[in-house]
Amino acid sequence: MSISGIILAIVVLGFLIFFHELGHFCVARVFGMGVKTFSLGFGPRLVGIKRGKTEYQIAAVPLGGYVSLVGQDPGEELPEGFTSKEEFSTRPTWQRFLVILAGPVFNALLAWFIYWGMFVANGQIILMPVAGAVQTGSPAAQAGVMPDDRFLSINGVAINTWGDIPDLVQTGGGAPLTVVLERQAKEITLTIKPLQQPGKSIFGEDITRWVIGVEYSGAYEQIPLGFFASASTGFVECANTTKLIVQSLVKLAQGAVPLDSVGGPISIVKLVSDQAAHGLSRVLMLAAFISVNLFLLNLLVDLGGYCVDSLGQIFHRFLDLL
């Protein structure tokens, strides 16, 4: 990892954490709750400035951050300059819930904004359904598929992107496929009988799948998108990323994905540093992916902690009534 890559990674992580804490801060202030400290980073304070009653600071350890609310812990001594009306613990349950929820939601919004901006700037990349190398002796080779053939349909279903091909092959369950190709401006209809072979899922699991033996050619098309089309496409991309991460978490819980495959801050720094070598777009796409991760993980941790604390308070009140 280069020094510049490490610095860029710290900046990216710092911004993602800042945006998360900004969510807590903004909603707390909307409800008039007191904020003692808004810190980017943990540990000793490096620099800071006080505005109103709040101390804004940068701390020594950049991989983290926090917003310290007045009265966040029941029975906490009221800091100088704040009133009891500003305490977090005395607010209605729904207000405290929204303050905690705001951090993860801001991360989800940030991911959407990044995807949105990327689609506005670069349009949408479509992987064209054009055959590259055809494996010798494969079902496709035996049927007569040739490099540069464009797939038009499989079993009557139109093919728009390369990703449609493996999906339709799997859906067929090994039955012969009626495939329509375009070759030199002419349509050709072939019948291909898929072959089952072992492979790996995107999560590293051993699976068996149906294949026809055609590799992707690398052809793609860049389609410009307008402002609002980019917004909707960015939302879909954000939803797809969320779905993929949820599936990964489920696989992790099931033991299908080894725990040592989960990276920490150092792994993230390395990923950002590596992507920096390929340009700003790759870094931004990775930042959006990490932001969705932060959304889901903090949603589980923050809301889980809130529910535990709430149940604890209810239990103590119940004991007081006895």
**What residues are labeled active site?**
21
Q: H/E element holding 44? A: strand 35-51
Q: What is residue 56's three-state secondary structure? A: strand
CA dihedral sign of residues 116, 117, 118, 119: positive
How far is Cα 70 from Cα 60, in angstroms, rounded to an integer? Answer: 23
CA dihedral sign of residues 287, 288, 291, 292: negative
List all residues 6 or more positions away from 64 whose beta carbon is below 8 Å from its beta carbon.
17, 41, 42
How far is Cα 155 from Cα 180, in angstroms, rounded to an integer? Answer: 8
List all residues 6 or more positions away from 197 whose beta carbon is below 8 Å from its beta carbon.
208, 209, 211
DSSP secondary structure string for all residues of 202-250: TTS-EEEEEE--EEE---EEEE---HHHHHHHHHHHHHHHHHHHHHHHH
How far is Cα 124 from Cα 255, in angstroms, rounded to an integer? Answer: 35
Identify which of 74, 88, 167 has the alpha carbon closest to the alpha carbon of residue 127.
167
